[in-house]
Amino acid sequence: MSFVTIGHLTKRFGGHTAVDDISFAVPEGSTLALLGPSGCGKTTILRCLAGLETPDAGHITIGGTSVFDAARRTDLMPEKRGLGIVFQSYAVWPHMTVAENVAFPLKVRGMGAAERLARASAMLDTVGLKGFENRSATLVSGGQQQRIALARALVHEPRLVLFDEALSNLDAQLREQMRLELRLLQERLGFTAIYVTHDQAEAFGLADTVVLMNQGRIETAGPARAVFARPASAFVARFFGLNVLEGRIIGPVAGTDHVDVALNDRFHIRGVAGPGLDRTPGQPALACVRKESLRAGRAPIGQPGVIEAVSFQGVAEEYILSVHGIALRATQPSAGFQRGDAVHVGMEPDDWIILP
């Protein structure tokens, strides 16, 4: 059953519509990621969920309780919504110890000092900060401050936790570690989670469902693997870093869901027809392929090309390839190619997605 339901949510700031008639649901115990570029509306949705912004229209239900309904003029205060929030800035209070920071939500709820400090200590143990109770909250590392913020969000045992770019201030290695630990912690404690992020790796690493936002509206939504595997529009393909090339339909391949596309007079490819594609010969189309799906090699297999640029990335290299005058980006295990090297570029029809 859905634990969080958002229906026809709209939020305006003056003449700007930040969130435009958004609807989605989150099953209990699952994780949803609101993904998208800056200004797409994802943080505004989170703030509306938390009660920090008042929407102009729509309704929000959390755990079967209506927390906002524009038509019925329902608008519960943030502390009445039974949720926890982890902010990007950590927001630890410098005049408090680690334990006092974590226990603060319990103090607001009127819990006695001994009980709240005991529960704060237990939650610090859960997030790997046992023994930090009496330290100053500002005399610990950024990663430890993030754990303090997480413990504070969880100490009152909320059934819903909201994360607003919560890992973006951590270094890359610590972000990867925290992603795995958050998955394990959620499975252990059983809370429902909604993440706001612009980081694709974070969204796919944490979420069961991904909602990709674009200018206040949902561009695509679905299971994380499906959203990643089959971009539904040119915006989605570009956001996920695919090569997106203009071409024209040559025609459908009989008995299949493939179409042939001419990128220019010499470079023709075959790919999977995307949703809404007009397969009539001559119609314009966009041919999309992931960098990781292209393979540059010495063997004469595939299309002839030339290495135009090389970026060494340790275990991998990224290339800009010129294939019949078309620039393609490819990423593969390091092969030692240099600028100007002649190669052949392998590609499979199922790796190409053809969009309107």
CATH 3.40.50.300 positions along the chain are 2-229
CATH of domain 237-355: 2.40.50.140
How sure is the predictor about 268, in pLDDT bands with cuts at 50, 70 and 90? very high
How far apart, in whole angstroms, are the C-alpha atoms of residue 223 and residue 241? 19
How far apart, in whole angstroms, are the C-alpha atoms of residue 90 and residue 129? 15
CATH of domain 2-229: 3.40.50.300
**What are the tens digits of pLDDT across the range 19-32?**
999 999 999 999 99
SS3 call for 188: helix
% of the chain exceeding 70 in pLDDT:
100
pLDDT value of residue 88: 76
Mean local confidence (pLDDT), 212-224: 96
Six-digit token string for 46: 């989170």
Q: Which residue's structure tokens are 């001559």?
A: 282
CATH 2.40.50.140 positions along the chain are 237-355
Residue pair 86/162 in contact (Cβ under 8 Å)? The answer is: yes
pLDDT value of residue 21: 97
Distinct helix (H) and strand (E) counts, the chain:
8, 21
Exposed / middle / buried, residue 28 (Cβ in 10 Å: 0-12, 13-18, 19+): middle
The pLDDT mean for the chain works out to 92
Phi, psi of 236 (to 5 degrees): -65, -45
Spatial CA neighbour of 88 closest among 149, 47, 35: 149
Record the pTM. 0.87
In DSSP notation, 247-292 reads EEEEEEPTTSSEEEEESSSS-EEEEEE-TT---STT-EEEEEE-GG
How far apart, in whole angstroms, are the C-alpha atoms of residue 86 and residue 92? 11
Q: Which residue's structure tokens are 């299309």?
A: 303
Mean local confidence (pLDDT), 298-318: 93
In DSSP notation, 88-147 reads TT----TTSBHHHHHHHHHHHTT--HHHHHHHHHHHHHHTT-TT-TTSBTTSS-HHHHHH
Res 229 pLDDT > 70: yes
pLDDT value of residue 314: 87
**What are the tens digits of pLDDT across the range 43-93?**
999 999 999 999 999 999 999 999 999 999 999 999 899 898 888 776 788
**What are the tens digits of pLDDT across the range 89-131?**
767 888 888 999 899 888 888 889 889 889 999 989 888 888 8
